[in-house]
Structure 1
Amino acid sequence: MKKTAIALAIAGLAVASAAQAAPQANTFYAGARVGWASFHDGVDDFKSADSSVKSNSVTYGVFGGYQIIDNLAVELGYDHYGTMKVTNPDAKADKFTNHGVNLSLKPSYDLGNLTPVLEGLDAYARVGAALIRSDVKAYEADGSKVTGHSLKVSPVFAAGLEYAIPGFTDLAARVEYQWINGVGKDQKWSGNDGADFTPDIGSVTFGLSYRFGQGAPVVPEVVNKTFTLNSDVTFGFDKASLKPEAQNVLDGVYGEIAQVKSAQVAVAGYTDRIGSEAYNLKLSQQRAETVANYLVSKGIAQQDISATGYGKANPVTGSTCDAVKGRKALIACLAPDRRVEIAVKGTK
């Protein structure tokens, strides 16, 4: 199979702004979050007829990140993960407080790729670990205070949505659910017969971040591509049906088109100068429609593609074949004129 000649021209003209949910690649961001945390696993061991447990509390923190590529960032944070309190009628409230640093990877997906309605909205996950200091402050019946603390690395899992605030390309809001598995390991304060109290902490937070270097509007790049398919791989002489090898070529063209957003495709068919003008117009139209129909079968919307036959207009051979003698030799010489051009316009 002979190679298809493909001409590409990409113009970087900015004509409209668009919201991008995730920060741009190779940029930094920073922010703060606040929300509500809840302790789980082992909490009920502290409940009795004389005491009650408050397992929910405020959580807050700061975070910063580096966007490695469009869909992956690394994020560092420092958080107060919450305080659990046990209230006793004859003593001050016992407290179990947690704070520390966390490091995680943050893969994301731009939901605007699914539908324009979700433009600017990003779904993401965070997976990492937190080094957490757990502080215990408990009171005995005689009023004496017992304190202790521990450091423990705990796995962190989170999922959330992030939204680029319209009109402020450097600001983004996020809502997130986070789960920390097993914090603390101090035996001085436990309702489970001296065993370590290592609860899980779930939290829902709202955050706001600032993206450095993204104050300017994000603009799409206008794309113009033209694919020229010669007759040696598309159609035989005086034919409008695709050669078997043409399908592989058109599959490659479709792969290029699929990467263009809001693509508008114009298919133009041409013939050589042999034959009448009316016949050539009809043949070129049939060739253009054959290619357009194939691309539609691959996934291009019917309303986004057009097919037009131009007959023997705009020959690329010029006067090169004027001195050629013999029909077979002339047909071979005029082969470049028998072509189909696929013009694609859209944005990246």
Structure 2
Amino acid sequence: MKKTAIALAISGLALASVAQAAPQANTFYAGAKAGWASFHDGLNQFEDQAEAMGTLRNSVTYGVFGGYQITDNFAVELGYDDFGRAKIRELGKTVAKHTNHGAHLSLKASYPILSDLDAYARVGAALVRSDYKGEAVERDHKLQTSAVFAGGLEYAIMPSLALRVEYQWLNNVGKKVNSFSTDYRPDIGSVTAGLSYRFGQGVAAAPEIITKKFAFSSDVLFDFNKSSLKNGGSEALDGMTAEVANSGLANPNYNVAGYTDRIGSDAYNQKLSEKRAETVANYLVSKGVDQANVTAVGYGKANPVTGSNCDTVNGRKALIACLAPDRRVEVAVQGAKTVTM
């Protein structure tokens, strides 16, 4: 019984892990994010021009995204971001500003770290509009493609809602060349946190413990007073194992109980019931059931189902026929099954 409880607990945990995995294949998701962006490279040239000049590299960034989960661990994602802005300052006053926004398309690959936590990476391209304006810079804009690289962690708060933390790198944003700037193409790194809603996930799939009971007349499985399977007995047991296999139970446990009628001594009936239960258990193991998942117990003439119905029956043959329901083998099959609510 203790082994059965442990096995069922393990089965339940395994099914729970499956239920909390990454988004299901062939589903969509959408979300929003916000964080902090920082410009890298390209700004030093302005700071070097004069002591009084400086730059502000950091700003807020935000965006929306949506994706299609092709497989459990592979998706294609489309997003639109305000990538952030940089400012050039002189004597404490902003004299020029560079802002960026645009759409990006990327492929996203995920790897499960825990049952509800994935690490992921994205690689793709962004179509970025860069706007330049200010006192010392001619008002202008550029529309140019930049490479996008990102990596992060995604945690499933529930099957339909996930939290992600991400670092994104936008390579060579825009291109500005004039007397004030020389080949100005900065990179932008950003750290964001976001939430995504996964469509079609439903409520968490929950493991349910199910017990199926089978009762076999000993006269079907055995000859009278015998404990070896007779012709046709194996076919009855094969029907049971086929039904269990098609029921979707994970790692089921088989509890086999043998019973006899009241004819004969208690010791003889106890021994016969044990042998018959063991015969059935051994047959199940021979058909591929894990031996650790099978228990066999004999109960002798205990728990008769005929009650007092046969008390007035005369003659041995008539009594044997009347007590036939007491001669039986009962099999309780118990296992976990995932039920989506």
User: 2: distance between equivalents of 1:189 and 1:170?
Assistant: 53
State the alpha-carbon separation in 1 of the partners of residues 45 and 179 from structure 2.
11
Amino acid at match of 2:164: R
1:222 to partner: Cα distance: 6.6
Give the CA deviation at 1:133: 1.1
Corresponding residue for residue 187 of structure 1: 177
Give the structure 2 partner of residue 136 of structure 1. Answer: 132
Match of 2:205 among 182, 201, 219: 219
**Secondary structure at the residue paired with 1:93?**
strand
Q: Which amino acid aligns with 2:29?
A: Y
Amino acid at match of 2:147: P
2-side partners of 1:28 and 1:346: how far apart? 29
Distance in 2 of aligned mates of 1:21 and 1:287: 37
CA contact (8 A) 1:148 1:188 kept: no
CA shift at 1:187, angstroms? 0.8
CA distance in 1, matches of 2:83, 2:151: 17
Q: Which ranges of structure 2 fall in alignment gaps of 5 or more residues?
A: 1-14, 211-244, 257-270, 299-332
Change over 3 Å in CA distance of 1:44–1:28 after alignment to 2: same
2:109 match: 107
Q: Structure 1 residues 133, 89: CA separation in 2 closer, same or farther (over 3 Å shift)?
A: same
Structure having the larger proportion of residues in helix: 2
Q: Please point out which of 141, 145, 152 is paired with 1:153.
A: 145
Displacement of 1:101 in angstroms is: 0.3
Instruction: Report the Cα distance in structure 2 between the residues aligned to 1:125 and 1:38, rounded to whole angstroms.
Output: 20
Per-residue deviation, residues 153-196 of structure 1 (Å, max 9, x unmatched): 11111111122224xx43221111111111111213754xx3x2
Change in CA separation of 1:344 and 1:188 when aligned onto 2, cut-off 3 Å = farther
Identity of aligned residues (%): 51
Q: Is the 8 A contact 2:160 2:199 kept in 1?
A: yes
- When residues 203 and 264 of structure 1 are mapped into structure 2, their CA distance, relative to the original with a 3 A threshold, is farther
- Out of 171-180 and 79-88, give the one that drifted further: 171-180
Q: Is 2:62–2:81's contact at 8 Å kept on the other side of the alignment?
A: yes
Cα deviation code 1:294-336 (max 9, x no counterpart): x89xxxxxxxx4455799xxxxxxxxxxxxxxxxxxxxxxxxx
1:19 to partner: Cα distance: 5.6
Query: Using the alignment, how far apart are the partners of 2:89 and 2:19 within structure 1?
Result: 49
1:231-242 correspondence to structure 2 within 5 Å: none
Report the TM-score, using the length of structure 1 for normalisation.
0.56
Does residue 173 (structure 1) correspond to residue 163 (structure 2)? The answer is yes
Residue 104 (structure 1) shift = 0.7
Q: CA deviation at 1:138?
A: 3.3
Cα gap change, 1:90 to 1:55, in 2 (>3 Å):
closer
- Residue 43 of structure 1 and its aligned partner are, at CA, apart by 2.4
Matches within 5 A, 1:1-348: 20=20, 22-48=22-48, 49-89=51-91, 92-113=94-115, 120-140=116-136, 146-166=138-158, 169-188=159-178, 191=181, 194=182, 196-214=183-201, 216-220=202-206, 263=251, 305-306=292-293, 308=295, 345-346=335-336
> Given the superposition, is the C-alpha separation of residues 267 and 95 from structure 1 closer, same or farther in structure 2, using an over 3 Å criterion?
farther
CA distance in 1, matches of 2:179, 2:39: 15
Q: Is the 8 A contact 1:17 1:218 kept in 2?
A: no
Equivalents in 2 of 1:16, 1:155: separation in Å? 38
Amino acid at match of 1:159: G
Looking at structure 2, the residues matched to 34 and 265 of structure 1 have their Cα atoms a distance apart, in angstroms, of 50
What code does the residue aligned with 2:36 have?
W
For residues 202-248 of structure 1, give each alpha carbon's deviation from its aligned partner in whole angstroms, at most 9, with x where no partner exists: 1100111222233x312157799xxxxxxxxxxxxxxxxxxxxxxxx
Q: What secondary structure is seen at the aligned counterpart in 2 of 1:165?
A: strand
TM-score, with length taken from structure 2: 0.57
Deviations 1:103-135 (A, max 9, x none): 01111123334xxxxxx2222211111111111
Larger Rg over CA atoms: 2
Query: Do 1:78 and 1:99's aligned partners in 2 also have CA atoms closer than 8 Å?
Result: yes
Let me know the Cα RMSD of the aligned residues: 4.4
Question: Retained in 2: the 8 A contact 1:57–1:84?
Answer: yes
In structure 2, the CA distance between the partners of 1:307 and 1:86, relative to structure 1 (3 Å rule), is same
Tell me the secondary structure at the aligned position of residue 45 of structure 2. helix
Q: Structure 1: 5+ residue runs without aligned partners?
A: 1-14, 114-119, 225-255, 269-275, 297-304, 312-342
Q: CA deviation at 1:81?
A: 0.5
Query: 1:5 — aligned with what?
Result: none
Aligned counterparts of 1:128 and 1:223: Cα–Cα separation in 2? 45
Counterpart of 2:318 in structure 1 is none
